[in-house]
Structure 1
Amino acid sequence: MIIKHFTDNDLYKFSVMMAIQKLYPWSYVKYEFINRGNTEFPKGFDKRLREEVNQMAKLKMTKAEKTFITKRCYFFDPAFIDFLEGYQYDPSEVSISQKDGVLNVSVEGYWYRTVLWEVPLMGLISELYFQMLGVEPKDIETKATDKAKRMSELKADYSEFGTRRRFSFDVQDKVVAKLKEHSGDFFKGTSNVYLAMKHNTTPIGTLPHEWFMYHGALFGYRSANTKALEAWVDVFQGSLGIALTDTYTTDSFFSSFSLKEAKLFDGVRCDSGDPLAFADKTICFYEENRIDPIAKTIVFSDSLDLNEVKRIKQYVNNRIHDTYGIGTFFTNDVGAKPLNIVIKLTDVKSNIKAEYHKAVKISDDLGKNTGDKKEIEICKLTLGLE
């Protein structure tokens, strides 16, 4: 059994789960696995994956996990935490098939339930793939120690974001331990709730692309960013205040980012596009709105390594608080090529009897656009994007 702990998942999945339950408990959705790297999966992979997914029905939140979440995730209300204690994964929500080396995985069901599948499914696919190929990780702790020390030398605040494409749980566990040991106060925590508990660090995360994609699909692309942010504030009242900008491009986001939201949210996250241009654009936005950029944060999280962190940090040059969310570079740098995979929301409806609407994402990087091609064009035309 690969996934052994209920909270072996990223914080943002739990935070958006609570928001869905509060505001959209009847919503019904579909997710699809996207194999960006066109990896060929070994024969019988679908059957092994099905066995692992079925095992997840046994997972339950422990008393220790509940105690940790209650103490460290102060933004979750008691009713939601009690719900998590009783939650059980339903493997029937997940469809898995394979033809030759092509793997197909989809999830369908009530959004408030199915939202938890994305991260553990990706972790399962990645770890199982390397298991079946017989790949052994190399130099895990040595590399993690070196990276931790170099991040400290750069004086870069950072968090570990590597659950989704990790080589294995064991590798991520060892990496988090070394990062915490050798980076001092510059290591701010991990997105993985279970590992945050195990290593007594902070669980890190806010809101995902799917939150904006849902609002765009049901309420229109012009109002998607505003509607999504206002809904988030309704639930969390200012907590979890890092706004994701690139669901429908960062330019579109800033054109609708109100003064109220800009003052309420702690900062923004750069997940695609040119990070240096993003920094300039963000600083300019705050200055134009008479907000001191030093009081705000940019979380850089797009395919980072040490050289990229150094380049960004030197360019930002203390003009705004910069911090870094680093994933695959930490948790899958073991001598094998990491998988390039995602699981994305594709269809949404307000209730089970309604008609599905296509959900799409228009990234600042063309290669990261996801969803129905026709709907992507409709979105671009609506927002005046080329």
Structure 2
Amino acid sequence: MIITHFTDNDLYKYSVMLAIQKLYPWAYVRYEFINRGDTAFPKGFAEELKKEVMAMASLKMTKPEKEFMIRRCYFFDPAFIDFLEGYQYDPSEVHIKQEGGDLKIRIEGYWYRTVLWEVPLMAIISELYFKMTGIEPQNVKEKAVEKAFQLRQMEADFSDFGTRRRFSFDVHDKVVSYLKMYSSKFFKGTSNMYLAMKYDTTPIGTMPHEWFMFHGAVYGYRAATVKALDAWVDAYQGSLGITLTDTYTTDVFYEQFGQKQAKLFDGVRWDSGDPLVFTDKTVEFYKSKRIDPLSKTIVYSDSLNLERVQEIKAYVNGRIHDTYGIGTFFSNDVGAKPLNMVIKLSEVKYDRRQKFQYAIKLSDVQGKHTGNTKEIELTKRTLGIR
């Protein structure tokens, strides 16, 4: 069994789960697995994956996990934490098939339940693939310790975001332990709730792209940003205040990010496109709203490595608070080629009586757009994106 702890999942999945329960308890959705790297999965992979998914039904929140969440996640209300204590994964929500090396996965069900599948399912797919192909990790400690020392030398605040595409749980566990041990005050925490508990560090995360994707599909793309941000404020009253900008491109986001929201949210997360261009846009945006950029944060989180962090940090040059969420470079830099895959929201209903509406994402990079092709073109026309 690959996932053996209920909280071996990222904080942002729990945070969006609570927001869904509060505001959209009847929402019904589908997610699709997207194999961006065209990985050919070995024969019998789907059957082994199904066994792992079935085993997820046995996971339950433990007393230490609950106590940690109560202590460190002050933004979660007691009713939600009690709900998690009773929650069980339902394997019937996950549909898996394999044709040759092609793997197909669809998740379907009430959004407040199915939202937890994405991260552990991707972690299972990654670890199972390396296990079935006989690849062993190399130089785990040496690489992690060297990264910790170099990031400390750069004085770069950083967190681990490595759950989804990790080599294995064991590698991820060791890497987080070394990062905390050797990075001094610059290691700020991990997105993984279980590892945050194990190493008594801060669980890190706020909202996902799917939050904006749902609002775009239900309320229209011109209203998506404002509706999604206002709904997040309704759910969290100012807590968890780092917002994504690139669900429908950063340019569109900043056109719609109003004065009130800009002051209320603590900062933004860069997740696609050119980070240097993004930095300039963000600093100028805050200045245009008469907001001191030094009072805000940019979380940089797309495909980071040491060279990229150093380049961005030098360019920021103290103009805004910068911090770095580093994923695969931490949890899967062990001599294997990481899988290039995502699981994305694909269709949504406000409630089950309605027809499905396509959910799409427009990245700041053309090749990372996801969703129905015709809906993507419609969205681009609606928002005036070339």
- TM-score, normalised by the number of residues in structure 1: 1.00
Q: 1: distance between equivalents of 2:106 and 2:140?
A: 32
C-alpha root-mean-square deviation of aligned residues, in Å? 0.3
| 1:173-202 superposed Cα distances (whole Å, 9 cap, x missing partner) | 000000000111100000000000000000
* Structure 1 position 175 matched with structure 2 position 175: yes
Amino acid at match of 2:160: E
Aligned to 2:239: 239
Give the number of equivalent residue pairs: 386
Aligned to 1:292: 292
Q: 1: distance between equivalents of 2:289 and 2:215?
A: 26
Aligned to 1:360: 360
* Structure 1 position 52 matched with structure 2 position 52: yes
Aligned to 1:140: 140
* Structure 1 position 220 matched with structure 2 position 220: yes
Amino acid at match of 1:324: Y
Aligned to 1:255: 255
Amino acid at match of 2:70: T
| 1:132-167 superposed Cα distances (whole Å, 9 cap, x missing partner) | 001110000110000000000000000000000000
* Structure 1 position 317 matched with structure 2 position 317: yes
1:97-176 alignment to 2 at 5 Å?
Answer: 97-176=97-176
* Structure 1 position 304 matched with structure 2 position 304: yes
Q: 2: distance between equivalents of 1:308 and 1:367?
A: 20
Amino acid at match of 1:278: F
| 1:113-148 superposed Cα distances (whole Å, 9 cap, x missing partner) | 000000000000000000000111000011000000
Aligned to 1:282: 282
Aligned to 1:4: 4
| Percent of pairs with identical residues | 69
Query: Secondary structure, in 3 states, of the residue corresponding to 2:339?
Result: coil
Aligned to 2:264: 264
Offset, 1:367: 1.2
Query: Secondary structure, in 3 states, of the residue corresponding to 1:124?
Result: helix
Q: 2: distance between equivalents of 1:44 and 1:164?
A: 22
Offset, 1:324: 0.2
Amino acid at match of 1:168: S
Aligned to 2:70: 70
Offset, 1:353: 1.5
Aligned to 1:210: 210
Q: 1: distance between equivalents of 2:139 and 2:353?
A: 52
Aligned to 1:200: 200
Aligned to 1:346: 346
Offset, 1:214: 0.1
Q: 1: distance between equivalents of 2:231 and 2:141?
A: 42
- TM-score, normalised by the number of residues in structure 2: 1.00
For structure 1, the 5+ residue unaligned runs are none
Offset, 1:328: 0.2
Amino acid at match of 2:385: L
For structure 2, the 5+ residue unaligned runs are none
Aligned to 1:87: 87
Aligned structure 1 segments of 4 or more residues deviating by more than 4 angstroms? none
Q: 2: distance between equivalents of 1:156 and 1:88?
A: 39
Offset, 1:106: 0.7
